[in-house]
Structure 1
């Protein structure tokens, strides 16, 4: 694997983690959502990753193949005066767990930072290699 393929691999990871952070932000923004435009409560979303070949040298990066919604039922809160309450007086909130999303955000953020560090290290090594020839 050449030094230049490191940039492709880390770049694919940066892009994937960036999308993961966007999904986490969307989930966190909807933690207390009761109903969306379709009348249903918000469902937590997760990014699905897949290994992606990068060039002819056998390097493998990552790509986002989709975003899936959680099937976990939403949290029910008894509030009979709420306009979206069902016949029993319960309001269905989103199924997003703020704690799980914060853990996912920290993980994605650290992965992003690690890949930035890989790219910076590769750049430094390439510059030092060029300086050897001077």
Structure 2
């Protein structure tokens, strides 16, 4: 694989990991979104990636989690039903934090590949100049 190919493949990986981080931040920011019991809860976002022919990855789409959510007894909430229940999304914060760490590490690894390939390309240019 050429230096430019390595940069291209790592760039596609960075894009997928960035989208994954975006989905995680969306999930975390809606962790406490309250809805009425007759409405759908916020649905967790999951990034679906697929390989690109010739190398690399791309985002194939976003999968949504369950809209069922979880019922919580909050009779003082203005959105509560006659039984005093409201609906929260079924998002596990520890799972989201674990995914965030994995996505950050993947992004960093791809960024390191881009940096190293760029440095190798610049070194080759310096050799050609001397």
| TM-score calculated relative to the size of structure 1 | 0.86
C-alpha separation in 2, matches of 1:97 and 1:108 = 17
Gapped runs of 5+ residues in structure 1? 54-58
CA distance in 1, matches of 2:67, 2:39: 17
What is the Cα-based RMSD across aligned positions, in Å?
1.9
**Number of equivalent positions:** 128
1:119 shift after superposition:
0.5
CA distance in 2, matches of 1:101, 1:12: 22
Matching residue of 1:130: 125
Question: Unmatched 5+ residue regions in structure 2?
Answer: none
Question: Which consecutive segments of 4 or more residues in structure 1 shift more than 6 A?
Answer: none
2:98 matches 1:103: yes
C-alpha contact 2:75 2:85 (8 A) present in aligned 1: yes
Q: Which residue of 1 aligns with 2:113?
A: 118
- Which of 88, 103, 109 aligns to 1:93? It is 88
Structure 1 residue 113 displacement after superposition: 0.7
Partner of 1:28: 28
TM-score (norm 2): 0.88
Secondary structure in structure 1 of the residue aligned to 2:116: helix
Structure 1 CA distance for aligned equivalents of residues 3 and 65 of structure 2: 39
